[in-house]
Amino acid sequence: MINITTSNNKGTYKSPNIFGYYGNYGGAYIPEMLHRNVEELRNKYLQIMYEESFQKEFQYLLHDYAGRPTPLFFAERLSKQFSSTIYLKREDLNHTGAHKINNAIGQVLLAIRLGKKRIIAETGAGQHGVATATVCALKGLECIVYMGEVDMERQQPNVARMQMLGATVVPATSGSKTLKDATNEAIRDWINNPTDTHYVIGSVVGPHPYPDMVARFQSVISEEIRKQLLEKTGNELPNNVVACVGGGSNAAGAFYNFLDDLSVQLYAVEAAGCGINSGMSAATTQLGKPGVLHGSKSLVMQTADGQIVEPHSISAGLDYPGIGPLHAHLYESGRAKFLSATDEEALEAAFNLTKLEGIIPALESAHALSALKQMNLKPNNVTIVCLSGRGDKDLAAYMKAMQHSSS
């Protein structure tokens, strides 16, 4: 499991090069004033992450606090529907309802070992903010979460959760008052507090070493899948692994330990929103071009003169105008296939899973489920779907869809 060889030139799928590049994507495009913070992290993260005492505490919290290992569930009725074999990796059963807690635990433990007393984060839908505030409460650390004013209005239950957990939620009031403005505020905070503060980024995005660090914290997902599949089928390699991609952290975690097994087909599913060419989409590989967003070079949805295009998805977690650099590389190299699902298709897949298996998925995860019908599954195929989160948070959208279909 321990792989700290990052000194290769081009980087591999599992390890970017020393500058943080996966192929043509990655790096650290940051203001001069952030160099010290990011350098400190880059110099220390691998050493700290793979220390025995760190791993011991990390594994303990994943097990006793987050509830890992999450089950690998044979979805029998869903399998019948597709005349194939489908397993669900139940990240929805984690504490706080999604995979984000894996990374939040990892980064907060790392921050403590770096001697940091103050944790900052940015959040769009609030899910990453809740996961971070949760682990800060557990560890008694100060937590400040930046959130766009518009997002705070849209996601009031998550704002309340963070406040109940003891975090200070600071509204970002500039620009469109959404995620990118919250990110700017968090960066400004980090520049002003360079010694005592760690910035917890919630996906495989941001300047190097964040994408690599977050992918490694999330890689527990595929580590478990291999063991569980071996136990259930006698073979640790599935034919297909499918995951939704916002920034790409649950997909990176679900893919990580299969990246070098070329017989395993990887499917990343983006949010097409109202349709790829509707002007209301978040399908970055289809609509994006190389550019710099939030500190790394990747594929970015932008206008001809480089202005970020506002994305749209029914699921707040996929409503992001970029993808992590690993995914840009997986796309460009062809190692993963990129599919997309519209808002409507995701809703349909969510209702389908709920009726067949008694599991209400997060709208994000429903995008991954929706891609099954595009995959031409064979009877002898084994497919893993990463069920990144549970659907409680999406009940309002589901209620609206039910009213629609009954009227």
- Which residues form the interface with ligand PLP (CB under 6 A)? 98, 100, 127, 203, 244-251, 317-318, 362, 364-365, 388-389
In the complex with ligand PLP, which residue's Cβ is closer, 145 or 362? Answer: 362
In the complex with ligand PLP, which residue's Cβ is closer, 112 or 165? Answer: 165
Least distance from C-beta 268 to ligand PLP, angstroms?
9
Least distance from C-beta 250 to ligand PLP, angstroms?
3
1 CB-side CA count, 13 A = 14
**Which residues face 89 on adjacent strands?**
72, 386
Least distance from C-beta 71 to ligand PLP, angstroms?
16
Least distance from C-beta 325 to ligand PLP, angstroms?
13
User: What gap in Å lies between CA 283 and CA 386, rounded to an integer?
Assistant: 19
Instruction: Give the H/E segment covering residue 225.
Output: helix 220-233
Active-site residue among 14, 79, 89, 100? Answer: 100
Active-site residue among 14, 222, 388, 393? Answer: 388
Name the token pair of 359: 């599991």
Q: How many angstroms separate the Cα of 287 from the Cα of each of 198, 277, 283, 346?
A: 33, 8, 6, 19
Strand order in the sheet with 336-342: 72-74, 85-90, 382-387, 240-244, 265-273, 336-342
Q: Which residues of 289-318 are buried (b: 16+ CB within 10 A; e: fewer)?
A: eeeebbbbbbbbbbeeeeebbebbbbbbbb
122: annotated active-site residue: yes
In the complex with ligand PLP, which residue's Cβ is closer, 85 or 210? Answer: 210
100: annotated active-site residue: yes
283 CB-side CA count, 13 A = 21
In the complex with ligand PLP, which residue's Cβ is closer, 318 or 350? Answer: 318
Active-site residue among 122, 185, 345, 348? Answer: 122
**Looking at this protein, which amino acid is placed at residue 57?**
E
Give the SS3 label for residue 355. helix
388: annotated active-site residue: yes
In the complex with ligand PLP, which residue's Cβ is closer, 111 or 125? Answer: 125
Least distance from C-beta 361 to ligand PLP, angstroms?
8
Active-site annotation, residues: 100, 122, 388
